[in-house]
């Protein structure tokens, strides 16, 4: 695989990256309180959003790509018209850092995970909070919607993954198997699996049919975040100084992408499957062209 394109995106930590649904724009977010829009055609800066009062930690798009959500250490979630960058709304209610935001597959809901130990569900039509999900005792750092929009998974400090039914937000069960913390979650597009990474240096694939562990992968390093390719064939996991690419189907580790920085943060595949982007602690975004 070719060496990645390196974008000097933020003066301090680049915390998150995400491609627009049409794969034409890459968005990065950082500790400098901004979100930046980069042209995929040229990797040149298109716009800078002065987004929050503190670090911007997380990004999410509506399915149609018309709305961008950002979550911040300043405890707020903000909605932006995309790609114009015009502010639409500020969602307030969390008491501590917002670590993760995700919009539902049908674009009707937004889920936000916070260090205050809660997950909040918001209506994207009324822009009002619908429910506060309380089940975690400590920081919640990840949420993920199932492709059919009927299940939400959440995780954070503590080894448990909690499952919630939607849209009512009722608890469905708890997945046990990780230790200490579960930092990242993602469903495959076909809905067959939920992927998770744990602080004990393993990644797990859970069957959504019976919620049993289908496969457990030994990462041999402390993991950061994960992403699943749009064709559901490849699982990318960031660890110290590298990104690992695994086969979803058989668990084979096919590629190791070395990185010259220890802090590897959010990963994102483009919707067309051509690119894999990574945000890192040195403020840079690295983008690999996939074979």
Give tens-digit pLDDT for 93-110: 999 999 999 999 999 999
SS3 280: strand
Give the CA-trace dihedral at 271, 107, 46, 97, to 10 degrees: -110
Q: Is 46 exposed, middle or buried (0-12, 13-18, 19+ CB in 10 A)?
A: middle
Is 90 exceeded by the pLDDT of residue 12?
A: no
Model confidence pLDDT, tens digit, residues 22-63: 999 999 999 999 999 999 999 999 999 998 999 999 999 999
CB 155 within 8 A of CB 137: no
Assess whether pLDDT exceeds 90 at residue 252. Answer: no
Q: How far apart are CA 36 and CA 162, in angstroms?
A: 32
pLDDT digit string (tens) for 171-180?
999 999 999 9
Cα separation of 209 and 206, whole Å? 9
Helix (H) or strand (E) holding 122: strand 118-123
Query: What are the E-state strand segments in 20-93?
Result: 25-30, 34-39, 45-50, 56-61, 67-72, 77-81, 87-91
Res 222: pLDDT: 83
223 pLDDT exceeds 90? no
Token pair in block for residue 170? 């009722």
Instruction: Find the domain containing 142 and state its range.
Output: 5-289
Pairing of strands 129-134, 275-280: unpaired
How does pLDDT run across 181-202, given as a tens digit for each residue? 999 999 999 999 999 999 999 9
Residue pair 218/177 in contact by the 8 Å Cβ criterion = no
pLDDT tens digits, one per residue of 199-222: 999 999 999 999 999 999 998 888
pTM: 0.95
- In sequence order, which ranges of 107-150 are alpha helices (DSSP H)? none
Cβ neighbours of 148 (radius 10 Å) = 12
Sign (positive/negative) of CA torsion 239, 242, 248, 251? negative
What is the 8-class DSSP label of residue 248?
A: T
**Nearest alpha-carbon partner for 26 in 36, 12, 14, 34:** 36
CATH number, domain containing residue 145: 2.130.10.10
- Are 27 and 36 contacting, i.e. CB atoms less than 8 angstroms apart? yes
- Number of structural domains (the chain) is 1
């Amino acid at each position: 695989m070719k060496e990645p394109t390196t974008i000097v995106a933020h003066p301090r930590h680049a915390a998150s990256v995400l491609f627009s649904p049409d794969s034409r724009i890459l968005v990065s977010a950082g500790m400098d309180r901004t979100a930046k829009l980069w042209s995929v055609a040229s990797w040149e800066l298109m716009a800078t959003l002065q987004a929050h009062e503190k670090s911007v930690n997380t990004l999410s798009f509506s399915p149609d790509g018309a709305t961008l959500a950002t979550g911040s250490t300043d405890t707020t979630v903000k909605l932006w018209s995309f790609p114009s960058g015009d502010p639409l709304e500020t969602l307030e209610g969390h008491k501590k850092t917002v670590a993760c935001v995700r919009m539902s597959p049908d674009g009707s809901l937004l889920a936000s995970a916070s260090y205050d130990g809660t997950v909040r569900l918001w209506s994207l039509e009324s822009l009002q909070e619908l429910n506060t999900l309380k089940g975690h005792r400590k920081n919640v750092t990840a949420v993920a919607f199932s492709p059919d929009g009927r299940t939400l998974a959440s995780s954070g400090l503590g080894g448990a993954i909690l499952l919630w039914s939607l849209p009512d937000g009722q608890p469905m069960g708890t997945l046990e198997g990780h230790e200490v913390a579960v930092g990242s979650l993602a469903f495959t597009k076909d809905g067959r699996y939920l992927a998770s990474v744990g602080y004990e240096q393993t990644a797990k694939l859970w069957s959504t049919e019976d919620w049993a562990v289908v496969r457990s992968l030994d990462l041999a390093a402390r993991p950061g975040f994960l992403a699943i390719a749009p064709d559901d064939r490849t699982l990318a996991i960031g660890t110290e100084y590298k990104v690992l690419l695994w086969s979803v189907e058989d668990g084979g580790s096919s590629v190791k992408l070395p990185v010259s920085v220890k802090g590897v943060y959010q990963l994102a595949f483009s919707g067309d499957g051509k690119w894999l982007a990574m945000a890192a602690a040195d403020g840079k975004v690295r983008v690999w062209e996939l074979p």
